Structure 1
Amino acid sequence: MSLSNVKKAIGRTVGTVMLGGALGFGLSAPALAADLKLAMSSPPTSMDPHFYNLFSNINVSEHVFEALVKLDPDSKIVPGLAESWKLVNDTTWEFKIRKGVKWHDGTEFTTDDVVWSLDRPATIVNSPGKFDVYTKAIVSKKIIDKHTIQLTTAQPYPLMLNDLTSIFMVQKKATQGLGSDDFAQGKGMIGTGPFKFVSYARDDRVELVRFPDYWGPKPAWDKVTLRFIPNPATRLAALLSGDVQAIENVPTPDLPKVRNDPKLSFFSKISHRVIYLYFDAKRDKSPFVTTKDGQPMDKNPLKDARVRIAISTAINRQGIKDRLMEGLSEPTNNLVPPTLFGHNPALKTLKYDPEAARKMLAEAGYPNGFGITLHTPNNRYVNDEKIAQTIAQNLTRIGINTKVEGMPMATYSSKGIKHEWSFGLLGWGAQTGEVSSPLRALLACEDSKKGFGTTNWGEYCNPKMDVVLEKALATVDDPERSRLLQEATAIAVLDGGIIPVHHQVTTWATQKGITYVPRTDERTYAHLFKPQ
């Protein structure tokens, strides 16, 4: 494909993009001598921005560190530390780095730091979910000068910008020789972001102060305390008492009270995060699958797609939305919402039909069902354990006796990444802004060289889907790439690779007089809160 055709095909992001400092989501309020205490629902597991591709880690990291390109509140790509980019040829991208950007120690951010930051994720050891999935396509890096760098891929790669939104820039001088655990003591915590790191108390808080030389719009707060309060009732109580000025993930039973409280302001937005179920689709015997009387089974029923689709058909998604989520979820059979690239409108949400589910089980050879344990985090997603309990009730009604085991996300993820569970609930946000994100991470056959299957905890593998996905990842024509991504999604979802349940609607609440810009990516950023 010629360069001109490449540019035309991906015109929504490529050509030369020059938006300067107009990020569209920064705060331009005048600096105030004020502090902000913000309650978040899930603590980070690491302060190293390259260690673990986990939402709670990323959400904290982006207060201190920044990427070359960013996502705006609607998950559209906008400039970050790179002020512009262009295609030099079919496989080479050139990025212009903003001049005058300073690290928190006062030194200049340059392309040497860019190369270091793009190389570092592949060197991280013992990561439960590596970031190098977003750097594998880059086969060479060429520094033109300290503000210009060229990145080359082996073939035309339309996801370059999407991938770079996930790679934070770290200072080469400050992070050389450090292990990931060192970051918790403050070593290496030198970024270019709106806030400087002060201290970290595991599972309790992170203290930050405003960076006066930040290149972008200055945040309104001199000091920020990120409090980690997983219990929803406790989090809301902290807001009501004035212990914090803002919270994320308002408890759903308290939504009417929060909306009607004249002392509070409420904000919400549909998320690109899909809450889904995954299965042990590989092992012949699975550790948490039993007969109805609790005995180990010689055959793993979850390997049968008919069983997986029966489970999906048995889930009352609308009931979860109406009775558990207070309307703040969108039932789905897709991996991303309609606003994101690659959404497949042909995949309609399955109707709740327990009788049809029973017939499917019988056809698969399980007319009397079996027993299973559904593992779930209990402090990560909105009503995560309650959703699991509701699904367990749905499944028990069709003969799959289901019990639930919930635990904190840190414990859950450390075991899930080792494939210890038979059946689990998890969430995934399409942090690159399109459906290729969950397809690569959750459903592609595990392949570390390709960066596939990094969060494929059920070890699902469908080579037919992988062929279509790989073709999509090398297709720069947007309509054709969208078609291929939709096809790959249909192959995996109709095979029960994972079972989408719903897209979350994310909520925030503040004390009156503080506003927030709600985001599709669910991020809670202190610099996006501002006083009225």
Structure 2
Amino acid sequence: MKKRKIFGLALIFLVAVFLIPQSGLAQKPLVIGFEGDAVTMDPHGRNETTTTTIQRHVYENLVGYDESLKIVPELAESWRLVDDNTWEFKLRKGVKFHNGEPMNGEAVKFSLERCKTHPKSQYKYAVPDYKEIKIVDEHTVHFITKSPTPEALVMLENISIMPPKWTQEWDKKDYAHLTRNMVGTGPYKFVEWVKDDRITLTVNKDWWGGKVDFEKVALRPIPEAATRVAALLTGEIDACWGVSIPDIPRVEKHKNTYVSRVPSQRAIYVMFDVYAEKGGPPPKDNPGLPAGKPNPFRDFRVRKAIAHAINVEDIIKYVMEGSAYPAAQIISPYAFDTHKNIHRPKFDPELAKKLLAEAGYPNGFEANFDTPNDRYVNDQQVAEAIAAQLAKIGVRLKVVATPKAVFFPKVDRFESPFFLAGWGTLSWQGTMNSFFRELKGTYGRNNRGRFKDPELEKKMDISNATMDDAKRQKLRNEIAEAIYGTYYVIPLYYQENVFGFSKGIKDGKARIDERLFAHKLKKAN
């Protein structure tokens, strides 16, 4: 009788176990599909949104943005301007890195200095020029700038804080280790990176931000848009970064999925090499032009002709299927000190032909036109549409479409005479320092066409140190008008961010800044 009772209880227990939902036994990981993989795990090593979005599941900054792009506390719980040159940050107490190192003034000072000086850093421009970073006490830091810096918070939002001992050890021993591993303070701990397959994370139960809904997370690179959407529709992934335009109706109509749409801060633009004199080996000349032939893009009239020959409205209507907005500048309309009244060039192919003839190219010319094919929405298709439009005025372009891992190093080596890329930031100063200053020290990181104007740089310096809002805005408007009047960069449009979610996620939202964070997602039930 006793044996029978024990057997009966065991049977009930086994049945109960099998009836428990799978999530009750071992929580299914949240799976997010991104357009690409991270380039590196070093949070200072790559200025690219997919990479930094992945990293910021683990690393944190002094301040961040919320969904409405308002500056909010992260590792700094408060801040104030002591005087025009001194920013005081009060740090959260009791926060530790995932390896046990304390997050304190020493870690902040080390991280900002590393980001400004490390040879691999792509965020040097985003650290305001400083006189001193002073540790007042363990949880108070004074960031003392060389001159007044009204955008200091906007710039510092880019800089992640790293554990000093661990980072210094591997910087000296084997830098590659820092590119493959992460140790931060954020909501998730790094577990594993299988390149081009997945990044695995697990919850940081000691995170200062509280409990998250999903304890295990897998971030998967799925470059093909159709494959990514198919994975969402079949339940293989739970959230999809970047639903392609043709797939939006499929996701909207499916019983288990939905989309969220919002205008992006990211501008798509084209840029010219205005430095190389002729076609030939880089960096002096440009291999994307016929060997020995003069570089036509050095001529202002040629650049202006191309600006008037690109029909952005048609590109938005037919290539982007309405999922974009015309841009007159590369800085976001949401950005600090954006110009409110600048206008993009009018589509005028007859004027374009006239300008080409005046420049000595009545029959046009040939050149390469580079574009990534896995970085922006319909990037290759947009480049091909531009090439077709410019062919009508005699500019014969060979579209060279490559993965971003090939494209960005190529343009960084000054091997493209004309290329398409994107930029999304909320910092006027960061944008101008990166795009329109000579490549020197921390400046010019994105000046891939080698634009140079010392007088404009002097005006930038003055504007960057002007604390009076009205005076600074007036000066910055004048600078913007002068820069875009050179046609060195031709802004095209702002993308629309379209994210897809399974209905197992409650109220998933696309963000203006293109971020998609696991710790911000909530379970539907």
Q: TM-score, normalising length from structure 1?
A: 0.88
> Partner residue of 1:452?
443
The SS at the match of 1:323 is helix
Which whole-Å CA distance do the structure 2 matches of 1:505 and 1:96 have between them? 36
Superimposed CA distance per residue, residues 474-511 of structure 1 (whole angstroms, 9 cap, x where no aligned partner): 11112222222222111111101211011111110011
Amino acid at match of 1:117: S
Whether 1:168 aligns to 2:160 is: yes
Amino acid at match of 1:446: L
Q: 1:7-46 residue pairs with structure 2 within 5 A?
A: 33-46=27-40
Which whole-Å CA distance do the structure 1 matches of 2:132 and 2:384 have between them? 49
Amino acid at match of 1:489: A
Match of 1:485 among 456, 464, 476: 476
Which whole-Å CA distance do the structure 2 matches of 1:288 and 1:183 have between them? 34
Superimposed CA distance per residue, residues 403-445 of structure 1 (whole angstroms, 9 cap, x where no aligned partner): 1011111111112111111111111111xx2332322211222
Which whole-Å CA distance do the structure 1 matches of 2:167 and 2:249 have between them? 47
How much has 1:287 moved relative to structure 2?
A: 4.5
Between Structure 1 and Structure 2, whose CA radius of gyration is higher? Answer: 2
Amino acid at match of 2:31: K
Segment of structure 1 superposing worse, 141-150 or 461-470? 461-470
How much has 1:57 moved relative to structure 2?
A: 1.8
Which whole-Å CA distance do the structure 1 matches of 2:291 and 2:327 have between them? 33
Which whole-Å CA distance do the structure 2 matches of 1:445 and 1:123 have between them? 18
Alpha-carbon spacing, 1:356–1:217, altered in 2? closer, same or farther (3 Å): farther
> Partner residue of 1:321?
316
Identity of aligned residues (%): 37
Total equivalences in the alignment? 490
Determine if contact 1:68/1:164 at 8 Å carries over to the other structure.
Answer: yes
Determine if contact 2:229/2:251 at 8 Å carries over to the other structure.
Answer: no
The SS at the match of 1:178 is helix
Segment of structure 1 superposing worse, 437-446 or 389-398? 437-446
> Partner residue of 1:196?
189
Match of 2:492 among 478, 482, 501: 501
The SS at the match of 2:169 is coil
Question: Which 4+ runs in 1 deviate beyond 4 A?
Answer: 287-290
Which whole-Å CA distance do the structure 2 matches of 1:469 and 1:502 have between them? 25
Match of 1:116 among 110, 115, 127: 110
Amino acid at match of 1:171: P
Match of 1:266 among 253, 256, 259: 259
Alpha-carbon spacing, 1:295–1:380, altered in 2? closer, same or farther (3 Å): closer
Which whole-Å CA distance do the structure 2 matches of 1:335 and 1:308 have between them? 17
Q: TM-score, normalising length from structure 2?
A: 0.90
> Partner residue of 1:68?
62
> Partner residue of 2:522?
530
Whether 1:206 aligns to 2:177 is: no
How much has 1:219 moved relative to structure 2?
A: 2.0
> Partner residue of 2:279?
286
Amino acid at match of 1:316: N
Determine if contact 2:33/2:221 at 8 Å carries over to the other structure.
Answer: yes
Superimposed CA distance per residue, residues 423-475 of structure 1 (whole angstroms, 9 cap, x where no aligned partner): 11111111xx2332322211222221xx2211111111122322221111111
Determine if contact 2:371/2:399 at 8 Å carries over to the other structure.
Answer: yes
Determine if contact 2:309/2:349 at 8 Å carries over to the other structure.
Answer: yes
Match of 1:361 among 352, 356, 372: 356
Which whole-Å CA distance do the structure 1 matches of 2:137 and 2:470 have between them? 36
How much has 1:340 moved relative to structure 2?
A: 2.3
How much has 1:203 moved relative to structure 2?
A: 2.0
Amino acid at match of 2:258: S
Alpha-carbon spacing, 1:339–1:50, altered in 2? closer, same or farther (3 Å): closer
Amino acid at match of 1:336: I
Amino acid at match of 1:253: P
How much has 1:108 moved relative to structure 2?
A: 2.8
Q: Alignment RMSD, CA only? A: 1.9
Match of 1:158 among 140, 150, 154: 150
Gapped regions of structure 1 (runs ≥ 5): 1-31
Match of 2:366 among 360, 363, 371: 371
How much has 1:34 moved relative to structure 2?
A: 4.6
